[in-house]
């Protein structure tokens, strides 16, 4: 066969598949997303190089002064490194033990526990930090007061306003990802690898040390690097627990710099870019570990690992799981609940004055209740519009054969690599300097939420799209259905569970959003998480507890709906 | 919805080329399928058979050539015409069945009829008829996600025939079934296809399946056609080394063509032996290969030739050898026989027992010793 009939020029009327039309649509969407994602970053880089008046754009003079000045901030950098390392170690050790316990031992209520383990993540680090501030602040913290009472001393047992306290809260409420990742690595290991070791005569412990541990090491290492990157960008715990004692990490230093008079955007940007650089390197290292270190025997296939008989140790591990649930879910929620109903937070029953005033303020008081309403409004609208746009993106990336579809994927996934705080800073700076007057309105918040949640939505939808066999759609076409008929009768019904899940996850992510919101809220556009922070800063612990509980309630309701939907549909898909 | 009326269902594929980027999956394939004929594309994975089928269905966009169904071009590079899949008036059974899990069995089968805006009463009648043909009438109300593999297969088949298409395409429809069910479905498919009188193109990598259910077989290899012929033709008269090796099992013996006659030739092999072989084409050059089917070689204990079989030793080939290995395989016994030109694989019925190490004579007729092209 020669190429005599080729190349075919531009297709005409009988071709329904128009590479040009689809290409143009893809190009437009890619450019739109690239602008949303790249625009703030460009501004951030430019500002970090601005050595003139920090308030002007474009910069009057360029230089590296902002970066060289960071050397003076070595204290902040060492603080960040210390807290991040500490939190990573705690999260990985805890995550490993819990994941091991839940995947490999026979525990009562394993499935139940596994679900509870994920709650701290949804509780959010902000709420967690608030709760632990109530639980373990020096002198007045519930746990310390209890200790004074029981041990009859005046010295404190815990001080949560310390690097250790910050790391502890970060590990508990952001370290959940370590548990999830290590658990996934353990579940994907073929049990026959261990069984063959046992059959060849190795004992239980020898098998564990020589076979199991080496096999899961890449997974654990990958999780550690990933969690470390997360911890570097962590903001809420350091904000609530570090700032009162003038203990700053990079993220809180960035926040501080934007609040100073005049705002030092140059310093903030340089800090942000530095943080982004370190985080990007960590994530690159993470990918490298996962790609190189994962043995071919650990496949994407899920196995049912054979539970080990661990004897008495089982109960020790069970106690550990219960301890985790206690300190990361039960105690924080109880502390918030008790505090939110009191006039002044105290643990002694004799001094308690119960009141509903905090909730009345939350729902009735103008600024606070508008923050609540705004958060719900943003959650619903961003989730609704976001799901539609992200579904189109997923289709372009994974189903169309348009050239450049992998570039779209890269653009869309990019916000994942940028710390939320840094992205918020970039958005702030970018939209302050653009003639479109949406700064300080809900429109900007919506746009910002959409941008930073692209990776979450696209990943969730892609998971479902990839599960739906392509031939299910092709079969409809062969049966004579037009594209729109096929979409209506086959594609959308099959994607429904994924669409519902993506909607709920986006809603949850919007309601709990802090890093971006804290830079973009205005007097007439408040949302809930920054309002919790400002209530806390103006030392209204009881009001912030009430707000935190209301936010958590919204998240938990969405979560329950999500689980229900997932269970209902799991039986219907093959 | 306008559907092309391809009532006569004849398929003509000419010079079809399909490229993915730089890779050429199908490279200049031409064949025709007559009305009501059942043709199978057979080949190993990656030979381009599925791509060819999907190009006929309209699910792949070819890079060159043309495809005509019922005389009308559905794809033509020269005319720049590419009719979308839904307007080609064909039907297809997918390898993964593609039974929609969110619908009932009835809704699955009725899909093509509903697309065509068929009246409700007729839909019910047609679905009933189609489900009846695959013996799934009792499952109409069942949710499709609750079916076993074999049942899904039947539903997919019923769905494909429910709207009475003129052309039916099969993409390895039996490959996900277990061996026993596969053998049963093979018989059912053959019967169904005779009853319905539909033109069909079937893709498989299973040579046994291809031989069993086809009117004609097209053997494909690396994007091109190796041989087209009836199942008997393909089996008894393989044209190329690839066909001889891929379809059935054959001994390939290298040697030299020494004398040619009308169809029959003399073929010299290692060890100074000369075989009588069959050539359906004039041999090119001296060096050549013949193929002998493993099942068409007789074995007799040495010195007892005249006592068995009555094979005519004067016109046939009879070579001495020694049994090296015996493998009992149930339906047959496989022997490896050492002889002057190497080793012969021989399959005999389980009643033909020879001891390992026994001296034997292997015999086969010239018609079963086929000269290959190249």
Is pLDDT at A298 greater than 50 in this prediction? Answer: no
Q: Which residue has the higher pLDDT, B238 or A395?
A: B238
- Rounded to the nearest integer, the mean pLDDT of chain B is 87
- Nearest by Cα to B241 from B258, B211, B221, B217: B221
Residue A41 in tokens: 């970053």
CA–CA distance from B138 to each of A461, B112, B151, B187, B190 (Å)?
A: 37, 20, 11, 22, 23
Closest partner residue to A480 among B1, B79, B143, by Cβ? B1
DSSP alpha helix (H) spans, A395-441: 405-413, 420-432
How far apart, in whole angstroms, are the C-alpha atoms of residue A527 and residue A370? Answer: 8
Question: Taking residues A237-265, what's their average pLDDT?
Answer: 86
How far apart, in whole angstroms, are the C-alpha atoms of residue B9 and residue B167? Answer: 6
- pLDDT for res B308: 45
Q: Which residue has the higher pLDDT, A238 or A203?
A: A238
- pLDDT for res B203: 95
Q: What is the pLDDT of residues B333-345, one digit of tens each?
A: 999 999 988 899 9
Q: What is the pLDDT of residues A541-570, one digit of tens each?
A: 888 888 888 888 888 888 888 878 766 655
- pLDDT for res A572: 39
Question: Taking residues B30-54, what's their average pLDDT?
Answer: 93
Q: Which residue has the higher pLDDT, A197 or A350?
A: A197
**pLDDT classification of A7: cutoffs 50, 70, 90:** very low
Q: Within an 8 Å CB–CB cutoff, is residue B57 touching chain A?
A: yes
- pLDDT for res A76: 87
**pLDDT classification of A574: cutoffs 50, 70, 90:** very low
Tell me if the pTM is above 0.80: no
**pLDDT classification of A98: cutoffs 50, 70, 90:** confident
**pLDDT classification of B133: cutoffs 50, 70, 90:** confident
Residue A291 in tokens: 């790609």
Contact residues on chain A for B80, CB-CB shorter than 8 A: 8-9, 11-12, 14-15
Q: What is the pLDDT of residues A221-232, one digit of tens each?
A: 888 888 998 898
Closest partner residue to A572 among B83, B101, B112, by Cβ? B101
- Nearest by Cα to A96 from A104, A85, A84, A106: A104
Q: Which residue has the higher pLDDT, A3 or B11?
A: B11
- pLDDT for res A10: 38
How far apart, in whole angstroms, are the C-alpha atoms of residue A139 and residue A127? Answer: 21
In this structure, which CATH number among 1.10.1660.10, 1.20.58.100, 1.10.8.60, 1.10.3720.10 belongs to the domain A21-297+313-569? Answer: 1.10.3720.10
Interface A-B: count of C-beta contacts within 8 A? 105
Q: What is the pLDDT of residues B166-175, one digit of tens each?
A: 899 999 988 8
Is pLDDT at A211 greater than 70 in this prediction? Answer: yes
Verify whether the Cβ–Cβ distance A469 to B96 is below 8 Å.
yes
To the nearest whole angstrom, how far is the Cα of A558 from the nearest Cα of chain B? Answer: 25
Q: Within an 8 Å CB–CB cutoff, is residue B61 touching chain A?
A: yes
Contact residues on chain B for A469, CB-CB shorter than 8 A: 96, 98
Task: Select the highest-mean-pLDDT range: A483-487, B229-233, B307-311.
Answer: B229-233
How far apart, in whole angstroms, are the C-alpha atoms of residue B133 and residue B124? Answer: 14
**pLDDT classification of A523: cutoffs 50, 70, 90:** confident
Task: Select the highest-mean-pLDDT range: A105-119, A151-165, A354-368, B236-250.
Answer: B236-250
Question: Taking residues B120-139, what's their average pLDDT?
Answer: 91
Is pLDDT at A15 greater than 80 in this prediction? Answer: no
- pLDDT for res A8: 38
Question: Taking residues B93-121, what's their average pLDDT?
Answer: 91
Closest partner residue to A485 among B101, B115, B169, by Cβ? B115
Question: Taking residues A522-527, what's their average pLDDT?
Answer: 83
Closest partner residue to A475 among B65, B82, B94, by Cβ? B94
Task: Spell A345-366 as b/e; 16+ CB within 10 A means b.
Answer: bbbeeeeeeeeebbbebbeeee
**What are the sequence ranges of the domains in chain A?**
21-297+313-569
Is pLDDT at A54 greater than 80 in this prediction? Answer: no
Question: Taking residues A3-20, what's their average pLDDT?
Answer: 40
Least confident span in A82-96, A118-132, A142-156, B50-64:
A142-156
Least confident span in A56-70, A98-112, A331-345, B160-174:
A56-70
To the nearest whole angstrom, how far is the Cα of A479 from the nearest Cα of chain B? Answer: 5
Contact residues on chain B for A8, CB-CB shorter than 8 A: 63, 77, 80
Q: Within an 8 Å CB–CB cutoff, is residue B231 touching chain A?
A: no
To the nearest whole angstrom, how far is the Cα of B209 from the nearest Cα of chain A? Answer: 23
Question: Taking residues B178-191, what's their average pLDDT?
Answer: 85
CA–CA distance from A519 to each of A251, A529, B84 (Å)?
A: 12, 12, 51
How far apart, in whole angstroms, are the C-alpha atoms of residue A275 and residue A232? Answer: 7
How far apart, in whole angstroms, are the C-alpha atoms of residue A317 and residue A296? Answer: 30
**pLDDT classification of B286: cutoffs 50, 70, 90:** confident
**Residue B265 CB partners (closer than 8 Å, separation 6+):** B257, B258, B259, B276, B277, B278, B279, B283, B371
Q: Which residue has the higher pLDDT, A379 or A395?
A: A379
- pLDDT for res B30: 95
- pLDDT for res A19: 47
Is pLDDT at B2 greater than 50 in this prediction? Answer: no
Contact residues on chain A for B65, CB-CB shorter than 8 A: 1, 5
**Residue B350 CB partners (closer than 8 Å, separation 6+):** B328, B330, B331, B332, B333
**pLDDT classification of B12: cutoffs 50, 70, 90:** very high
Is pLDDT at B307 greater than 60 in this prediction? Answer: no
Closest partner residue to A472 among B61, B79, B100, by Cβ? B100
Verify whether the Cβ–Cβ distance A17 to B102 is below 8 Å.
no
Verify whether the Cβ–Cβ distance A474 to B112 is below 8 Å.
no
To the nearest whole angstrom, how far is the Cα of B78 from the nearest Cα of chain A? Answer: 7
- pLDDT for res A293: 60
Q: Tell me A525's DSSP state.
A: B
- Rounded to the nearest integer, the mean pLDDT of chain A is 80
- pLDDT for res A346: 63
Closest partner residue to A8 among B77, B89, B96, by Cβ? B77
Verify whether the Cβ–Cβ distance A5 to B64 is below 8 Å.
yes
Q: What is the pLDDT of residues A380-424, one digit of tens each?
A: 999 999 998 888 888 878 877 666 777 888 888 888 888 888 888
Verify whether the Cβ–Cβ distance A478 to B90 is below 8 Å.
yes
Verify whether the Cβ–Cβ distance A5 to B86 is below 8 Å.
no
To the nearest whole angstrom, how far is the Cα of B51 from the nearest Cα of chain A? Answer: 14
**pLDDT classification of B235: cutoffs 50, 70, 90:** very high
Q: Within an 8 Å CB–CB cutoff, is residue B295 touching chain A?
A: no
Q: What region, left, alpha or beta, does residue A440 occupy, with left being phi > 0 and alpha being psi -120 to 50 degrees? A: left
- Using only C-alpha atoms, chain A has a radius of gyration, in whole angstroms, of 26
Q: What is the pLDDT of residues A299-324, one digit of tens each?
A: 445 555 666 666 777 788 888 888 88
- Using only C-alpha atoms, chain B has a radius of gyration, in whole angstroms, of 25
**pLDDT classification of A14: cutoffs 50, 70, 90:** very low
Q: Within an 8 Å CB–CB cutoff, is residue B89 touching chain A?
A: yes
Least confident span in A69-78, B36-45, B140-149:
A69-78
How far apart, in whole angstroms, are the C-alpha atoms of residue B68 and residue B106? Answer: 32
Q: Which residue has the higher pLDDT, A306 or A518?
A: A518
- pLDDT for res B194: 83
- pLDDT for res A5: 36
To the nearest whole angstrom, how far is the Cα of A484 from the nearest Cα of chain B? Answer: 12
Closest partner residue to A17 among B17, B57, B61, by Cβ? B61
- pLDDT for res A12: 39
Q: What region, left, alpha or beta, does residue B85 occupy, with left being phi > 0 and alpha being psi -120 to 50 degrees? A: alpha
Q: Is B344 helix (H, G, I), strand (E, B) or coil?
A: strand
């Amino acid at each position: 066969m020669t190429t005599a009939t080729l190349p075919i020029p531009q297709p005409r009327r009988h071709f329904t598949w128009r590479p040009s039309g689809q290409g143009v649509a893809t190009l437009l969407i890619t450019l739109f997303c690239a602008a949303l994602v790249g625009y703030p970053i460009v501004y951030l880089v430019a500002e970090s190089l601005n050595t003139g008046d920090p308030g002007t754009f474009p910069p009057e003079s360029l230089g590296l002064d902002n970066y060289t000045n960071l050397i003076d901030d070595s204290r902040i950098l060492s603080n960040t490194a210390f807290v991040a390392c500490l939190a990573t170690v705690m999260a990985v050790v805890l995550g490993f033990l819990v994941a091991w316990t839940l995947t490999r031992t026979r525990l009562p209520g394993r499935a139940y526990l596994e679900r509870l383990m994920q709650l701290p993540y949804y509780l959010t680090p902000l709420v967690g930090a608030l709760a632990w501030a109530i639980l373990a602040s020096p002198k007045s913290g519930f746990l310390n007061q209890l200790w004074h009472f029981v041990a009859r001393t005046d010295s404190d047992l815990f001080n949560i306003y310390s690097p250790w306290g910050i790391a502890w809260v970060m590990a508990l409420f952001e370290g959940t990802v370590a548990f999830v990742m290590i658990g996934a690595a353990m579940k994907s290991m073929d049990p026959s690898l261990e069984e063959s070791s046992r059959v060849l005569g190795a004992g239980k412990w020898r098998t564990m040390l020589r076979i199991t541990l080496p096999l899961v090491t890449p997974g654990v290492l990958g999780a550690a690097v990933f969690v470390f990157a997360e911890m570097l960008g962590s903001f809420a715990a350091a904000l609530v627990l570090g700032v009162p004692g003038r203990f700053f990490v990079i993220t809180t230093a960035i926040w501080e710099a934007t609040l100073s008079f005049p705002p030092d955007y140059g310093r903030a940007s340089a800090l942000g870019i530095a943080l982004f650089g370190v985080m990007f390197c960590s994530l690159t290292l993470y990918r490298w570990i996962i790609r190189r270190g994962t043995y071919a025997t650990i496949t994407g296939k899920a196995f049912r690992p054979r539970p080990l008989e661990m004897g008495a140790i089982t109960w020790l591990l069970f106690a550990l799981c219960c301890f985790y649930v206690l300190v990361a879910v039960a105690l924080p929620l109880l502390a918030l609940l008790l505090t939110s109903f009191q006039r002044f937070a105290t643990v002694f029953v004799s001094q308690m004055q119960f009141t509903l005033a905090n909730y009345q303020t939350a729902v009735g008081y103008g600024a606070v209740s508008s923050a609540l309403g705004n958060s719900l409004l943003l959650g619903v609208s961003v989730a609704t519009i976001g799901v539609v746009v992200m579904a189109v993106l997923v289709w372009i990336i994974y189903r169309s054969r348009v050239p450049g579809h992998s570039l779209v994927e890269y653009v869309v996934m990019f916000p994942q690599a940028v710390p939320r705080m840094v992205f918020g800073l970039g958005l702030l700076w970018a939209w302050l300097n653009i003639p479109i007057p949406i700064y300080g309105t809900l429109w900007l918040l919506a746009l910002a939420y959409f941008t930073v949640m692209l990776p979450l939505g696209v990943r969730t939808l892609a998971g479902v799209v990839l599960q739906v066999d392509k031939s299910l759609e092709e079969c409809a076409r062969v049966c004579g259905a037009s594209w729109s008929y096929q979409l209506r009768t086959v594609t959308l019904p099959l994607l429904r569970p994924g669409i519902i899940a993506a909607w709920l996850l986006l809603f949850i992510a919007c309601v709990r959003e802090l890093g971006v919101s804290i830079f973009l809220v205005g007097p007439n556009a408040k949302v809930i998480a920054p309002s919790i922070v400002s209530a806390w800063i103006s030392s209204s612990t009881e009001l912030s507890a009430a707000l935190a509980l209301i936010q958590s309630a919204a998240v938990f309701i969405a979560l329950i709906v999500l689980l229900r939907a997932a269970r209902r549909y799991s039986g219907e898909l093959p | 919805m306008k559907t092309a009326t391809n009532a006569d269902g004849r398929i003509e594929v000419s010079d079809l080329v399909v490229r993915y980027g730089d890779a050429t999956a199908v490279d200049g394939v031409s064949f025709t399928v007559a009305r009501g004929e059942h043709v199978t594309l057979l080949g190993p994975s990656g030979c381009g058979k599925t791509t060819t089928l999907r190009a006929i269905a309209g699910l792949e966009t070819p890079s060159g050539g043309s495809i005509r169904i019922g005389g009308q071009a559905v794809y033509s590079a020269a005319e720049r015409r590419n009719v979308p899949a839904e307007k080609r008036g064909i039907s297809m059974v997918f390898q993964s069945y593609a039974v929609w899990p969110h619908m009932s069995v009835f809704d699955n089968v009725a899909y093509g009829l509903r697309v065509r805006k068929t009246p409700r009463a007729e839909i019910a009648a047609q679905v009933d008829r189609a489900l009846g043909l695959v013996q799934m009438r009792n499952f109409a109300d069942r949710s499709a996600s609750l079916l076993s593999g074999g049942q899904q297969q039947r539903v997919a088949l019923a769905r494909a025939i429910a709207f009475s298409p003129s052309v039916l395409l099969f993409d390895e429809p039996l490959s996900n079934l277990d061996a026993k069910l596969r053998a049963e479905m093979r018989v059912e498919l053959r019967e169904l296809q005779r009853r319905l009188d539909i033109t069909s193109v079937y893709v498989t990598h299973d040579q046994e399946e291809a031989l069993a259910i086809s009117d004609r077989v097209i053997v494909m290899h690396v994007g091109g056609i190796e041989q087209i012929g009836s199942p008997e033709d393909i089996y008894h008269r393989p044209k190329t080394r690839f066909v001889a090796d891929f379809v059935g099992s054959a001994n390939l013996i290298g040697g030299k063509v020494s004398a040619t006659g009308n169809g029959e030739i003399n073929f010299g092999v290692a060890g100074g032996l000369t075989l009588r072989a069959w050539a359906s084409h004039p041999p090119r050059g001296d060096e050549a290969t013949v193929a002998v089917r493993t099942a068409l070689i007789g074995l007799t204990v040495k010195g007892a030739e005249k006592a068995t079989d009555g094979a005519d030793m004067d016109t046939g080939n009879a070579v001495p050898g020694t049994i090296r290995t015996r493998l009992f395989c149930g339906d047959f016994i496989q022997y490896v026989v050492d002889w002057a030109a190497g080793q012969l694989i021989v399959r005999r019925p389980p009643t033909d027992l020879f001891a390992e190490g026994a001296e034997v004579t292997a015999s086969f007729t010239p018609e079963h010793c086929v000269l290959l092209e190249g």
